[in-house]
């Protein structure tokens, strides 16, 4: 059976990290506001605060004040069980907890920080990449080559910082309670010589090792199934402990990474990932293709 995400209702969960808690709290408020047919300006007018403040609370960029929380709960007539859950999110979102990625604040965007926060708390991650090897499976040399191309305007120290961040993120695969990763890539990601043939060859060898981890399931969509593998851009779904459905997703777009946290969007991405798993080769066939590609690069 494919190890993907199962569609269903989300079980209430309170993230341990403040940023993730603020994001979930804000997303819930936004859904309630939209269901009521109000604009952010109208909500601000009703509780006596600015439109920009409502927007920033909804996007998780700032926390609400205790007075704002009470006013919002009353405004949306939130039921007691939902109110208890939202209060837990609200309180967690106002906590101040130092995390390892705080040391890299000078090179991390707010969106990347949010991504890392969700990844840090997730029990499972489902990813799709078209041209690159997933960050959690990259070697240092490969990660550096990708970073230097993708962030050409950054200085050497900033590139070093972003490469270190990827290395720190990879520890989730080896935690006492490790992250379960189900990743789908296209054959193109195996063929593109990122950083040159030596770097790519070493990356393919590393994939052969990491694919043997019980918690890593890597599948490859071969060229002859290209239509299936070119359906969408890259995305990542995160699922928390005890949840039947994805908690949050991050999708790559031309204008940058976007967060998907509405139920419909999450269901669609979960179905799409399941479809990509079916289009891809099985784990052993994928590993064989990786080995074959590595041997060919070595011989050339």
Q: Is 9 a domain residue?
A: no
Mean pLDDT over each residue of the chain, to the nearest integer: 88
Based on the domain organization, do 140 and 84 belong to the same domain? Answer: no
147: domain CATH number? 3.30.870
Mean pLDDT of 235-261: 81
Q: Is 246 a domain residue?
A: yes
280-295: b (≥16 Cβ within 10 Å) or e: bbebeebbebbeebbe
Q: What is the C-alpha to C-alpha distance for residues 52 and 250, in angstroms, rounded to an integer? A: 23
Based on the domain organization, do 72 and 136 belong to the same domain? Answer: no
Based on the domain organization, do 67 and 178 belong to the same domain? Answer: no
Cβ neighbours, 10 Å, residue 232: 16
Q: Is 112 a domain residue?
A: yes
Q: Is 154 a domain residue?
A: yes
Based on the domain organization, do 200 and 134 belong to the same domain? Answer: yes
pLDDT of residue 11: 44
Based on the domain organization, do 31 and 62 belong to the same domain? Answer: yes
Contact present, 169 and 135 (Cβ < 8 Å): yes
Q: Is 130 a domain residue?
A: yes
**What are the φ and ψ backbone dihedral angles of 200, each rounded to 5 degrees?**
-65, -40
Examine the fold and report which residue of 59, 93, 127 is the final residue of a domain before the chain moves on.
Answer: 93
Using one digit for the tens of pLDDT, what is the confidence trace for 168-178?
999 999 999 99
Using one digit for the tens of pLDDT, what is the confidence trace for 6-61?
333 344 567 767 877 888 899 899 999 999 999 999 999 999 988 888 988 988 87
Nearest partner of 247 among 14, 2, 3, judged by Cα: 14
Examine the fold and report which residue of 61, 93, 125 is the final residue of a domain before the chain moves on.
Answer: 93
Number of domains composing the chain: 2
Q: What is the C-alpha to C-alpha distance for residues 230 and 220, in angstroms, rounded to an integer? A: 12
pLDDT of residue 68: 92
Based on the domain organization, do 115 and 261 belong to the same domain? Answer: yes
Which sign does the torsion angle of CA 219, 220, 226, 231 carry? positive
pLDDT-above-90 percentage for the chain: 62
Mean pLDDT of 277-290: 96
Strand order in the sheet with 216-221: 216-221, 180-186, 124-129, 235-239, 248-253, 256-260
Based on the domain organization, do 121 and 74 belong to the same domain? Answer: no
- DSSP H stretches of helix in the chain: 18-36, 40-47, 51-58, 66-75, 80-93, 110-121, 140-150, 156-169, 187-191, 197-210, 226-229, 263-279, 283-299
Q: Is 288 a domain residue?
A: yes
Q: What is the C-alpha to C-alpha distance for residues 197 and 130, in angstroms, rounded to an integer? A: 19
pLDDT of residue 29: 93
Based on the domain organization, do 279 and 218 belong to the same domain? Answer: yes
Q: Does residue 216 surpass a pLDDT of 80?
A: yes
Cα–Cα–Cα angle for 175, 248, 25, rounded to 5 degrees: 105
Q: Is 5 a domain residue?
A: no
Q: Is 170 a domain residue?
A: yes
Based on the domain organization, do 167 and 220 belong to the same domain? Answer: yes
Mean pLDDT of 219-246: 81
Contact present, 236 and 272 (Cβ < 8 Å): no
Examine the fold and report which residue of 93, 119, 135 is the final residue of a domain before the chain moves on.
Answer: 93
Based on the domain organization, do 141 and 29 belong to the same domain? Answer: no
Q: What is the C-alpha to C-alpha distance for residues 161 and 116, in angstroms, rounded to an integer? A: 14
Based on the domain organization, do 191 and 267 belong to the same domain? Answer: yes
49: domain CATH number? 1.10.260.40
pLDDT-above-70 percentage for the chain: 91
Question: What's the distance, Cα to Cα, between the start and end of the chain in Å?
Answer: 38
CA dist 240 → 134, 182, 214 (Å): 20, 14, 19
Based on the domain organization, do 153 and 232 belong to the same domain? Answer: yes
pLDDT of residue 243: 57
Range of the domain at 65: 18-93
Q: Say how far residue 26 (Cα) sits from the centre of its chain.
A: 18
- DSSP H stretches of helix in 186-262: 187-191, 197-210, 226-229
At 14, list the tokens.
């309170």
pLDDT of residue 98: 79
Mean pLDDT of 111-136: 92
């Amino acid at each position: 059976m494919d190890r993907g995400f199962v569609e269903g209702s989300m079980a209430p969960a309170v993230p341990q990290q403040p940023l993730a808690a603020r994001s979930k709290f804000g997303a819930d408020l936004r859904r309630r506001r939209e269901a009521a047919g109000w604009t952010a300006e109208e909500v601000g007018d009703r509780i006596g605060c600015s439109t920009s403040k409502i927007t920033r609370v909804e996007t998780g960029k700032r926390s609400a004040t205790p007075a704002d929380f009470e006013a919002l709960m009353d405004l949306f007539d939130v039921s007691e069980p939902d109110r208890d859950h939202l209060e837990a999110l609200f309180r967690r979102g106002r906590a101040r907890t130092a995390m390892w990625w705080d040391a890299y604040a000078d090179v991390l965007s707010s969106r990347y920080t949010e991504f890392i926060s969700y990844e840090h708390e997730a029990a499972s991650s489902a990813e799709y990449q078209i041209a690159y090897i997933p960050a959690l499976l990259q070697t240092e040399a490969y990660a550096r080559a990708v970073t230097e191309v993708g962030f050409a305007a950054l200085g050497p120290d900033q590139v070093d910082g972003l490469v270190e961040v990827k290395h720190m993120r990879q520890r989730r695969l080896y935690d006492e309670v490790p992250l379960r990763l189900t990743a789908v890539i296209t054959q193109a990601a195996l063929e593109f010589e990122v950083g040159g043939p030596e770097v790519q060859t070493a990356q393919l060898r590393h994939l052969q090792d990491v694919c043997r981890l019980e918690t890593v399931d890597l599948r490859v969509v071969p060229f002859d199934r290209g239509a299936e593998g070119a359906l969408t851009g890259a995305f990542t779904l995160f699922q928390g402990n005890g949840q039947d459905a994805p908690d949050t997703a991050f999708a790559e777009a031309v204008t940058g990474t976007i967060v998907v946290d509405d139920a419909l969007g999450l269901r669609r991405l979960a179905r799409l990932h399941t479809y990509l798993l079916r289009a891809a080769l099985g784990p052993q066939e994928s590993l064989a293709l990786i080995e074959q590609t590595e041997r060919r690069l070595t011989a050339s």
